[in-house]
């Protein structure tokens, strides 16, 4: 007995040592991540053009140091040991080790030279894409995209498992548990339920006074209103900041520092309002994570779609609701006295919910948005299966836009070249945007049963809503998979009908059908 106890104690001490070792590595890896995060924030917001060549050199060195740590024998062995003994770890650490083990396995499956070569390709590819987009010439980007696709196909191959093959590897990478099987089902429902509904809606005209859309909205006044929105959404400015950048984004290191950006167009008032609300949705998620997870690799958001569900929940379900603007339209009118003098709350509400088949995904309304995603999903799948090649993309793109949205694509800039994602080697990411909206609707359905959302908004902030989401989703960070979180928050598995019903209900009312 005594001897057995001793052995068990030894094993436990042994595991404690491995946990300590792991935590040492984690702290260092996080320090490199912190430095890279800081540099990347600067790059995306204010860095002078002439610094990038030097910057690339130093970030290269820092990544290499981090890569060496992650592929060091000791780290790999430590992770492996903890993985074997994960039943002896607490829940959060066990989950973290499973995820870290996956990352380590992935890194080890890709030959370092190919990885480096790909990183070098990606260092210039976004520039090439930008040039092609500006010059409206797909041929400029084609050779570069071809190289990227060659790598992505190889990457998917390297990472294949008994269960996951081809495109599924990439999809599951961004959204655990979602492969073509699940997405086919999801998009199948949307095709059946939404496509005819969109046709019906877009055949009708929405009447409202749209004079305000022709006005000019000074940048500084828009910033003032964005700051007001910050307060409405209870954003903690002690642990984050708002800035400007070409493309709005949110970027956090932990609950201690979650930053976001907005872009201001003086001729488009609603653009900055809704990008602020959207990014603040992401930021709220990160700020409300359990701070005890700050030092781990399982803080932040559970998955891409879950993150997007929060930004879209605030942007569309709350931010484009009549209840929200009943409270805040007065402040908007006060900020833009002259421009909004003759625009009623209802004019504004209709304007921000107008449905229209359009070319550009990022400017699409809430209802047609998922159609833009389906186009990209279908194309990526065909590309990964080898059914089409990069040179086929412009034609396929235009054909599918005609099919899904019923409109002609006048230029590649407004067509196949519109999104930055592929130039960054990001394939399998787009579907999470639509899935996020569907998660949001399912979560909203449950929230309405538990709190009076209209009443919650009436005191001028989203505090009660934030708190509900914190308890049900945010506090868990990445310690649960998205399907587990959905179960905790809604008591049900994923069901896309909540999304369909939410959209049909909302837009039937707006369009009086």
Residues near a second copy (CB under 8 A) are 27-28, 30-32, 34-35, 38-39, 41-42, 46-51, 53-55, 57-58, 61-62, 65, 236-241, 243, 253-254, 256-257, 294
What stretch of H or E contains 397? helix 393-405
Residue with tokens 């907005």: 262
Distance of CA 25 to the CA centre of its chain: 28
Tell me whether residue 41 or residue 138 sits nearer to a second copy (CB atom): 41
We find the least distance from the C-beta atom of residue 33 to a second copy, in angstroms, to be 9
Q: Which is nearer to a second copy, 78 or 368 (CB)?
A: 78
Within 10 angstroms of residue 167's Cβ, the number of other Cβ atoms is: 23
279 is catalytic: yes
Q: Is 4 exposed, middle or buried (0-12, 13-18, 19+ CB in 10 A)?
A: exposed
The least distance separating a second copy from the CB of residue 38, rounded to whole angstroms, comes to: 5
Active-site residue identified among 96, 175, 182, 279: 279
Residue 305: how many other CB atoms lie within 10 Å = 27
What tokens appear for 173 in the block?
A: 């990478």
Q: Which is nearer to a second copy, 163 or 220 (CB)?
A: 220
3-state secondary structure at position 491: coil
Query: At its nearest, how many Å lie between a second copy and the CB of residue 252?
Result: 10
Please give the Cα distance from 41 to 47 (Å, whole number): 9
Q: Alpha carbon of 291 to those of 155, 169, 346: distances in Å?
A: 35, 31, 41
SS percent in the chain: helix, strand, coil, step 5 = 70, 5, 30
Beta bridge partners of 258: 252
CB 94 within 8 A of CB 87: yes
- Minimum separation from the CB atom of position 8 to a second copy (A): 34
Q: How far is the CB of 222 from a second copy (least distance, A)?
A: 15
Contact 176, 481 (CB under 8 A): yes
Is 191:404 a contact under the CB 8 Å cutoff? Answer: no
Q: Which is nearer to a second copy, 55 or 101 (CB)?
A: 55
Inter-residue contact 243 to 261 (CB < 8 Å): yes
Alpha helices in 159-240 (DSSP H): 167-174, 180-202, 219-232
Provide, rounded to whole angstroms, the least separation between the CB of residue 472 and a second copy.
25
How far is C-alpha 120 from the chain's CA centre?
25
The nearest distance, CB 158 to a second copy, in angstroms, is 26
Of the candidates 137, 195, 146, the one whose C-alpha atom is nearest the C-alpha of residue 416 is 137
Pick between residue 257 and residue 279 the one whose CB is nearest to a second copy.
257
Nearer to a second copy, 29 or 345 (CB): 29
The three-class DSSP label of residue 334 is helix
Closest to a second copy by CB, 63 or 209: 63
The catalytic residue positions are 279
């Amino acid at each position: 007995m005594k001897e057995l106890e001793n052995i068990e104690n030894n094993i436990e001490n042994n595991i404690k040592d491995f946990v300590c070792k792991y935590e040492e590595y984690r702290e260092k890896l996080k320090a490199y991540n912190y430095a890279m995060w800081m540099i990347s924030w600067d790059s995306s917001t204010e860095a002078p053009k002439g610094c990038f060549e030097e910057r690339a050199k130093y970030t290269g060195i820092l990544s290499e140091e981090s890569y060496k740590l992650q592929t060091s024998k000791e780290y790999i062995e430590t992770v492996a040991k903890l993985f074997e003994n994960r039943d002896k770890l607490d829940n959060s650490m066990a989950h973290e080790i499973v995820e870290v083990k996956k990352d380590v396995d992935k890194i080890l499956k890709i030959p370092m030279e190919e990885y480096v070569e790909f990183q070098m390709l990606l260092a210039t590819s976004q520039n090439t894409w930008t040039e092609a987009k500006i010059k409206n010439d797909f041929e400029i980007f084609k050779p570069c995209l071809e190289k990227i696709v060659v790598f992505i196909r190889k990457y998917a191959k390297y990472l294949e498992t008994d269960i996951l093959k081809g495109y599924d590897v990439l999809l599951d990478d961004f959204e655990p548990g979602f492969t073509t099987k699940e997405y086919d089902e999801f998009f199948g429902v949307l095709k059946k339920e939404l496509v005819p509904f969109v046709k019906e809606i877009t055949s009708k005209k929405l009447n409202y006074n749209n004079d305000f859309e022709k006005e000019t909205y000074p940048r500084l006044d828009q910033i003032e209103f964005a700051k007001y929105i910050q307060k409405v959404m209870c954003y903690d400015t002690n642990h984050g900041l708002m800035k400007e950048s070409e493309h709005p984004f949110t970027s956090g290191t932990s609950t201690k520092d979650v930053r976001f950006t907005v872009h201001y167009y003086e001729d488009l008032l609603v653009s900055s309002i809704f990008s602020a609300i959207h990014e603040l949705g992401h930021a709220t998620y990160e700020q409300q994570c359990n701070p005890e997870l700050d030092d781990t690799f399982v803080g932040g958001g559970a998955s891409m779609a879950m993150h997007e569900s929060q930004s879209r929940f605030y942007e569309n379900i709350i931010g484009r609701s009549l209840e929200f603007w009943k409270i805040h339209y007065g402040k908007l009118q006060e900020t833009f006295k002259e421009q909004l003098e003759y625009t009623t709350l209802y004019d504004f509400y209709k304007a921000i919910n107008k449905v229209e088949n359009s070319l550009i995904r990022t400017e699409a309304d809430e209802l047609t948005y998922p159609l833009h995603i389906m186009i990209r999903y279908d194309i990526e799948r065909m590309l990964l299966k080898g059914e089409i090649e990069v040179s086929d993309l412009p034609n396929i793109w235009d054909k599918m836009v005609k099919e899904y949205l019923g409109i002609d694509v006048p230029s590649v800039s407004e067509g196949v070249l519109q999104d930055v994602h592929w130039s960054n080697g990001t394939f399998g990411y787009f579907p999470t945007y639509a899935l996020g909206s569907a998660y949001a609707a399912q979560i909203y359905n449950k929230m309405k049963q538990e709190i009076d959302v209209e009443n919650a908004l009436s005191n001028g902030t989203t505090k009660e809503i934030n708190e509900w989401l914190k308890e049900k989703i945010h506090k868990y960070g990445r310690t649960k998979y998205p399907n587990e979180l959905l179960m905790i928050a809604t008591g049900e598995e994923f069901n896309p009908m909540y999304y369909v019903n939410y959209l049909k209900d909302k837009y039937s009312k707006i369009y009086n059908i």
